[in-house]
Structure 1
């Protein structure tokens, strides 16, 4: 379905064919990224990222190893910083990690992003939609490739999405008894983490279940906790913010006091979220990708190696919603195990899906 909107009814920009063609001309070329939130996986940076996604694994919080998905804080393009189509809303749709080795404490990694594909997609609620796919290899200063990432974003016209009214406002209320049940789930997480006890590949069978993790109920405070570790895309203040809006005026959306703020405000401002056509303020896509990574690393244990992770974000997870993420073993090939990952909200609606490949230790092979 498409929605016709008159010029007078428009609040935001519309997709311009010349801009689309200019963006298409950038395929395969280096993309300038904004400054990274972190440039080195220090113990502090890793700990803050782990706390931001609710991952209390001592490997991360004690500064022993680096959270694999912390690479999302090391390159803005990988996290959803898109090029072209100014004023057209960007929705993060997922990411892929292909690791050559596990990221380590003290790694200094730099992304080298290129626009890999630009694909027009049909949209049932926002007229035209464009998918931008970026390729982001992460290398050390001496050129060692640690991980090749891909990120996926959709661009939609905000006015078209709002006028189509595909979404209704979502409100989720929780009773004290339900909150206590959720608190108990969190208390039980420690026992389900594999930790230092090796999970040997010989003990894994197709059909084995990956224990569930709870995330939420989501709040604006949850978003802030993630921002402390991840950094956000456009979260700036004072002169730094006004400098950003001077260089990129289409980013500026006046708030109720007439002060420009970035579109990232949709993650804590329900009114702006509805203005751009979504049901309410919602979580960050890279955050949900990292939740799925948390499911995998808890299951594989300290001796496992997360070789590959692909996560697709499937819907908006709005304030108040609870997400439960789990998985199942779908293949075992030598020392490599494939997991299918799933995440649903409190009503059973799909929140995210994914695939992971994990290399596990073998009893028949002595540790190095």
Structure 2
């Protein structure tokens, strides 16, 4: 089967769109700075129901009973189930704006958290295009743009729950494809049986801090967090993340619903030569063919998925009475299917912050099996004080 004449006329083919940076494109994007973006097509969970929270926690591999066990949570600091801070991504991961035909990767995340999400909360996201830097020189694809989306998450009481600055790198796919061989690594990773057994034992040994408080006075500069292990990353890990309601921008759909969207927005899709099916650009996270068109080696994780793992490691360490106030992370390399990532961190400072909270500041990391820190970052966690009411 070949691409139909209708698809050719619409711009759908066996390749991802291959746009170029032009003065017209840059001027058009500058004119959009400050615009509030439409989000309807990207909303996944409007309400934090018990099952929505459970699906999300399972989709990131976080089995903290505070998110899932009603009896356990009733005895905790909130008196009921709350969502992990990263649940905002299950409400709306992000949106797309402009840059027609260009490739894109998540580059950096800055997040601040203001209040917990309780069961039954209604979360509304507002998203603004704050601008971009570049084009600058890039080893990955010749030239790149770094853009900034500001996302605010509000509850039903008009209270700000969290804010998220999402930075993405935009590039010309043809240039990224031309440089792909220079980045080749052995994939899938050749794990031995003994190595896989040790990885799984490490995962099974993980246990959240839970109800036992981690007091601020007992934490010292230089202390290291527990390690959380993710992997080997597989196709089901990516499917579980999508099924949890996270990430797709816009939402994934099937059959006639998808086809009508692709005809309306042909740059959202391509025809997979292996199955003859139309696939979305988002399939770079589970489709090797699409990933290679993007300039990668094989399918790879979602940027904010990695941030969810970082947040998992922080709440795992802080315990039920700890409060995550801020995280920052940079995405330095792809995490490919078959990779293993070990997340941890170190306390670098203690202080009473401007809100009067006793906080610790942490340096965080995410090391893969190639000894690459694929997400260097930072975090701020408020901890209880011993003897405080």
Please report the TM-score for the alignment, with normalisation by the length of structure 2.
0.87
The separation in 1 between residues aligned to 2:97 and 2:381, in whole angstroms, is 33
Task: Give the conservation status (yes or no) of the 8 Å contact 1:170–1:279.
Answer: no
Can you give the 5+ residue segments of structure 2 that lack an aligned partner in the other structure?
1-14, 71-80, 353-357
Deviation string 1:282-321 (CA, Å, 9 cap, x unpaired) is: 1111110100001100010000111111122111011111
| 1:142 aligned residue (140, 157, 166) | 157
Secondary structure of 2:67's aligned partner: helix
Partner of 2:7: none
Structure 1 unmatched ranges of 5 or more = 1-8
Taking the aligned partners of 1:229 and 1:96, their CA distance within structure 2 comes to 22
Give, in whole Å, the separation in 2 of the partners of 1:122 and 1:142. Answer: 45
The one of 209, 228, 241 aligned to 2:258 = 241
Equivalent position of 1:224 in the other structure: 239
How many matched pairs? 353
Deviation at 1:258, TM superposition (A): 4.0
Structure 1 residue 219, shift from structure 2 partner: 1.1
Aligned twin of 1:303: 321
The answer to whether the aligner puts 1:30 opposite 2:36 as a matched pair is yes
1:255 maps to 272
CA 1:244/1:11 → structure 2, altered by over 3 Å: closer, same or farther?
Answer: closer
Note closer, same or farther for the CA distance 1:347–1:144 as it changes in structure 2 (3 Å cut).
same
Counterpart residue number, 1:13: 19
Measure the CA separation in 1 of the matches of 2:110 and 2:52. 21
Q: Is this contact kept in 2: 1:28–1:114, CA < 8 A?
A: yes
Are the counterparts in 1 of residues 348 and 363 from structure 2 also a CA contact under 8 Å?
Answer: yes
Q: How far did 1:10 drift? A: 10
Superposed CA offset, 1:73-111 (max 9, x none): 21242xxx3200112111112322211212222221111
Paired position in structure 2 for 1:188: 205
Per mean C-alpha deviation after superposition, the further-off stretch among 91-100 and 322-331 is: 91-100
- Whole-Å Cα distance in 2 between the matches of residues 14 and 112 of structure 1? 29
TM-score (norm 1): 0.92
Checking the alignment, whether the CA contact within 8 Å between 1:170 and 1:280 is kept in structure 2 is no
Quick one: distance in 2 between partners of 1:31 and 1:337? Answer: 35
Preserved CA contact (<8 Å) 1:314 1:352:
yes
Q: SS in structure 1 opposite 2:183?
A: coil
The reply to whether residue 105 of structure 1 matches residue 119 of structure 2 is yes
**Secondary structure, aligned partner of 1:350:** coil
**Larger CA deviation: 196-205 vs 221-230:** 221-230
User: Compared with structure 1, are the counterparts of its residues 11 and 58 closer, same or farther at alpha carbon in structure 2 (3 Å cutoff)?
Assistant: closer
Q: CA RMSD of the aligned region, Å? A: 1.7
| Equivalent residue number for residue 346 of structure 1 | 369
1:51 to 32, 52, 58: 58
SS in 2 for 1:318: coil
Q: Per-residue deviation at 1:12? A: 2.2
Deviation at 1:173, TM superposition (A): 1.7
Other structure's SS at 2:375 match? strand
For residues 36-73 of structure 1, give each alpha carbon's deviation from its aligned partner in whole angstroms, at most 9, with x where no partner exists: 11111111111111111111100112251101001012
Report SS of the residue matched to 1:308. strand
Work out whether residues 94 and 286 of structure 1, in 8 Å CA contact, stay in contact via their aligned partners in 2.
Answer: no
Corresponding position: 1:60 with 2:67: yes
Q: Is the CA contact 2:17–2:102 (under 8 Å) kept in the aligned structure 1? A: no
Distance 1:94 1:107, change over 3 A: farther
Secondary structure of residue in 1 paired with 2:62: coil
Q: Give distance in 1, aligned partners of 2:164 and 2:16.
A: 36
Alignment of 1:27-176 (within 5 A): 27-33=33-39, 34-62=41-69, 64-77=81-94, 81-120=95-134, 121-165=136-180, 166-171=182-187, 172-176=189-193
Structure 1 stretches of 4+ moved >4 Å? none
